[in-house]
Amino acid sequence: MAATTVLGIESSCDETSAAVVRLEGDVPRVLSCVTAGQDALHETYRGVVPEIASRAHLESILPVVRRALAESETPLGSLDGVAAGHRPGLIGSLLVGTSLAKSLAWARGLPFVGVDHVVAHLTATLLDRATVAWPAIGLVASGGHTSLFLMRDPLTLELLGATIDDAAGEAFDKAAAILGLGYPGGARVDHAAESGNAECLDLPISRLKGLDFSFSGVKTALALAARVDPSPHSREDLAAAFRRAVIGQITRNLAVAIETHSAPTCLIGGGVAANRLLRSDAAALCERHGCELRIAEPRWCTDNAAMIAGLGAIRIARGERDPWDLAPQPMSAIARGARGPKRAAL
């Protein structure tokens, strides 16, 4: 079986990551993945500062790429191509990874492709695993996006619904700030919720027409509940009630999408896919619907280059290439806006 080996580079936000993935048949196998985080640099500001992020990417990108190549024992000359996440993200950060990927590809005479980071979060569910049955319902719940897709294959997606305000991860981060749990917040709210009583408070769950999401109302409701002094609820109880409301909205839409499209497979990726309640509720829901759940392994939920290399390898194996003047873009072309069929990565 002919294999396609690709170096992938991720630098869309605050993780500098490089990975080597070998596509064997339609299974992307991860040979290496090296990621340098920047949490300590942004903690004081309780959010990612774009200028600080770009500079930190510049400092760490070459060592990270060198280590990923060394750990996979793949010399540059044995690669079949180079991929970078070229959208969506912080423009200065995207420029660092995209420029390096193009330079390496050009210098070595290799194909270059840019891939959509949101779509790559769904490729993360396919890494190192046997083939899935299509079509699939794909959910990306991350810091920047909450989008639901009907997928005919890894590259052909139709947007079914998306958030009309905050993304789920963004709402978790703001909840962490409201509850004084610090930054980055999603995992901390999840952890606090484990020992809380979700029944203590009935936070509102937005019910929009169709399959769109809205998380700003539940965030405001939490802020108002947390302001009551003295509070009748512990921080853990509030975290649990919040988590239940956010995950409840996600799983409700997921169930409708699976039923409507009779999909045999459900793929879930993005930082929020690490959430314990989402993982257990999605597993129960898929079991009820006779649908196979592929939720990204926790290490591939948050930003990483393995998913970028995986999606890049799928495109390169099909003979696709992007031009050298492909520009980074702040927005995804697929995860927001018009609902309907679209081709994923350009």
Residues near Zn ion, by CB under 5 A: 142, 303
How far is Cα of residue 170 from the mean position of the Cα atoms in its chain?
A: 12
Choose, by CB under 6 A, the member of 187, 201, 258, 263 that binds ligand KG4. 187
b/e map 120-141, b = 16+ CB within 10 Å: bbbbbbbbeeeebeebbbbbbb
Say how many residues touch ligand KG4, by CB under 6 A. 20
186-194 and 235-261 are packed helices; what angle lies between their axes, rounded to 10 degrees? 110
Near ligand KG4 by CB under 6 A: residue from 190, 212, 236, 322? 190
State the chain's maximal CA–CA distance in angstroms: 66
State the minimum distance, in angstroms, from the CB of residue 34 to Zn ion: 17
Evaluate whether 294 touches 126 at the Cβ level (below 8 Å).
yes
- Pick the closer one to Zn ion by CB: 93 or 142: 142
Using the minimum distance from each CB to ligand KG4, give the nearer residue, 95 or 105: 95
Give which of Zn ion, ligand KG4, none residue 80 binds (C-beta under 5 to 8 Å, depending on kind).
none
Count of beta carbons in the 10 Å neighbourhood of residue 111: 19
Choose among ligand KG4, Zn ion, none what residue 17 binds, the Cβ cut-off being 5 to 8 Å by kind. none
Taking CB under 6 A as the binding criterion, the range among 29-37, 186-194, 203-211, 250-258 that sits at the site for ligand KG4 is: 186-194
Amino acid (one-letter) located at 1: M
Q: Which range, of 75-83, 228-236, 272-280, 282-290, touches ligand KG4 by CB under 6 A? A: 272-280
Residue in the block written with tokens 């590259």: 155
Phi, psi of 210 (to 5 degrees): 75, -150
Task: Rule CB under 6 A: choose which of 10, 80, 116, 173 binds ligand KG4.
Answer: 173
> Which 281-320 positions form the footprint of ligand KG4 (CB under 6 A)?
302-303
Please report whether residue 48 would count as binding ligand KG4 according to CB under 6 A: no
Kindly write down the DSSP assignment for every residue of 291-314, as one continuous string: -EEEE--GGGTSS-HHHHHHHHHH
Q: State which of residues 104, 178, 272, 296 lies at the interface with ligand KG4 (CB under 6 A).
A: 272
- Of 138 and 184, nearer to ligand KG4 (C-beta) is 184
Residues in CB range of 232: below 8 A, 6 or more apart? 200
| Residues of this chain that bind ligand KG4 (CB under 6 A) | 13, 142-144, 169-170, 172-173, 184-187, 190, 270-272, 274-275, 302-303
